[in-house]
């Protein structure tokens, strides 16, 4: 599957002010556009990057890249015209997926790129989005009078890159009236019946619109120091008669089950606690109290996915997961690879970063007597600090 990127850099930066468009202003010694371009050009997931520029900015463009000339095309007076020009430049060797990105967003990260490309296996369009945390009201623009409440749970701030099935997006743009300009690419996609979803955006992936934004971006460019943190998790569930159990996200058939308020997946519970511990965010009971009937018989995938989202929001990366399941029965070895795969899927990490081991207590203790199953996990995350 081929994925290309169109970076829209043909704007005149009216709101930014000044003689130089914001995409060509210096940020930590290089043009904003150069930082943005490098993010995609250096990604192993991206085949080709096309930059759409204004004809009047050719000199600035070449200066931004120190005389070298990445692939570019000239855009139009409107954003939609510029995006279409970028899309058409790829039509002789079209990609399967296309990402459209603002030149003035130099802080998108690789995880966002991966998530969007992956989501495009399920839907035709995808974009990062941030929830609204402030109260939202409808206000009369002329008088300033508040007229009504708005539901902030249904309103999100959409960022770029916005990803699409290439052929579907081209078809949407070809149907756009030449005098019309779409707010963004999702507007056209939705108008033409494309199924679109969002992924969780990141606050640092902001668009430079004003000079104060450029100052904020300069502060963000301060060198960050990476360090690793390890959290541990431990969980136990009682064995009972039944028709099987779920361990590490995998169903194991048999005549025994595990007791618990949720699905009692002792493995995922231990990993969840390890991940929460690495971030100093309490334990699984704090986030999913067993007294809440909402979590009765819930799949533990939900708990681990929640911990993963918190990891992303705290700007951390999961580096490795190591779990040991302690029991006499069932036998874990036949299911180890399935467990590793399922854990990797939930956490959106590589299969090689997950280790699943099993041991017994040599018939000693409650696990030796077959009364319960225990699991202990060690989770390593990478965090950044300035």
In the chain, where the domains are located: 3-220, 225-385
Position 297 pLDDT exceeds 90: no
Burial class (CB in 10 A: 0-12, 13-18, 19+), 174: exposed
Quick one: pLDDT at residue 290?
82
Q: pLDDT band for position 315 (50/70/90)? A: confident
pLDDT average, residue stretch 305-316: 88
pLDDT digits (tens, 9 = 90+) for 175-196: 888 778 888 899 999 999 999 9
pLDDT of 52 over the 80 cut: yes
How far the first Cα of the chain sits from its last, in Å, is: 37
Q: What's residue 29's pLDDT?
A: 87
- Phi then psi for residue 362, to 5 deg, are 55, 45
Q: Does domain 225-385 have CATH number 3.30.1330.50?
A: yes
Which residue has better confidence, 166 or 218? Answer: 166
| Residue 181 confidence (pLDDT) | 84
Residue 18 has pLDDT above 80, yes or no: no
pLDDT at 190: 93
Q: Evaluate whether 229 touches 383 at the Cβ level (below 8 Å).
A: yes
Identify the sign of the CA torsion 17, 21, 23, 25. negative
- Beta strand 3-9 with 48-53 is parallel
Q: Is the pLDDT of residue 14 over 80?
A: no
Q: Give the pLDDT band of residue 278 (cuts 50, 70, 90).
A: very high
CB 290 within 8 A of CB 327: no
Q: Using one digit for the tens of pLDDT, what is the confidence trace for 67-78?
A: 777 999 999 989
For residues 218-238, average pLDDT? 86
Q: Which residues contact 174 (CB under 8 A, 6 or more apart)?
A: 84
Question: Residue 386 has what pLDDT?
Answer: 54
The answer to whether 148 and 139 have CB atoms below 8 angstroms apart is no
Mean pLDDT is lowest, of 63-72, 129-138, 203-212, for 63-72
Q: Which CATH superfamily is domain 3-220 in?
A: Spore Coat Polysaccharide Biosynthesis Protein SpsA; Chain A (3.90.550.10)
């Amino acid at each position: 599957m081929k994925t290309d990127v169109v970076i829209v850099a043909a704007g005149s930066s009216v709101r930014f002010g000044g003689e130089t468009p914001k995409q060509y202003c210096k940020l930590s010694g290089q043009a904003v556009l150069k930082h943005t371009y490098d993010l995609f050009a250096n990604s192993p997931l991206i085949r080709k990057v096309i930059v759409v520029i204004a004809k009047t900015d050719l000199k600035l463009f070449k200066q931004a890249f120190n005389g070298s000339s990445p692939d570019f095309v000239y855009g139009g007076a409107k954003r939609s015209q510029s995006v279409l020009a970028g899309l058409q430049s790829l039509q002789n060797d079209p990609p399967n997926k296309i990402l459209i990105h603002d030149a003035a967003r130099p802080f998108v990260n690789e995880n966002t790129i991966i998530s969007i490309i992956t989501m495009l296996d399920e839907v035709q369009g995808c974009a990062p989005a941030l929830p609204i945390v402030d109260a939202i009201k409808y206000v009369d623009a002329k008088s300033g009078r508040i007229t009504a409440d708005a539901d902030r749970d249904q309103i999100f701030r959409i960022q770029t890159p916005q990803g699409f099935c290439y052929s579907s997006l081209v078809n949407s743009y070809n149907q756009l009236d030449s005098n019309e300009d779409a707010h963004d690419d999702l507007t056209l996609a939705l108008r033409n019946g494309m199924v679109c979803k969002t992924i969780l955006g990141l606050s640092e992936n902001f668009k430079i619109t004003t000079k104060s934004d450029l100052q904020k971006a300069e502060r963000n460019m301060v060198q960050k120091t990476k360090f690793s943190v390890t959290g541990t998790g431990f969980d136990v569930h009682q064995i009972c008669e039944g028709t099987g159990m779920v361990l590490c996200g995998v169903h194991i058939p048999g005549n025994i089950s595990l007791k618990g308020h949720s699905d009692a997946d002792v493995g995922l519970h231990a990993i969840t606690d390890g991940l929460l511990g690495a971030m100093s965010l309490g334990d699984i009971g704090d986030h999913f109290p067993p007294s809440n009937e909402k979590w009765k018989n819930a799949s533990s995938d939900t708990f681990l996915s929640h911990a993963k989202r918190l990891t992303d929001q705290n700007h951390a990366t999961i580096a490795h997961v190591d779990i040991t399941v302690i029991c006499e029965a069932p036998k874990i070895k036949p299911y180890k690879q399935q467990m590793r795969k399922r854990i990797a899927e939930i956490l959106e990490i590589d299969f090689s970063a997950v280790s699943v081991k099993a041991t017994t207590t040599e018939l000693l203790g409650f696990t030796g007597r077959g009364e319960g199953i225990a699991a202990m996990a060690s989770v390593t995350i990478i965090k950044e600090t300035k």
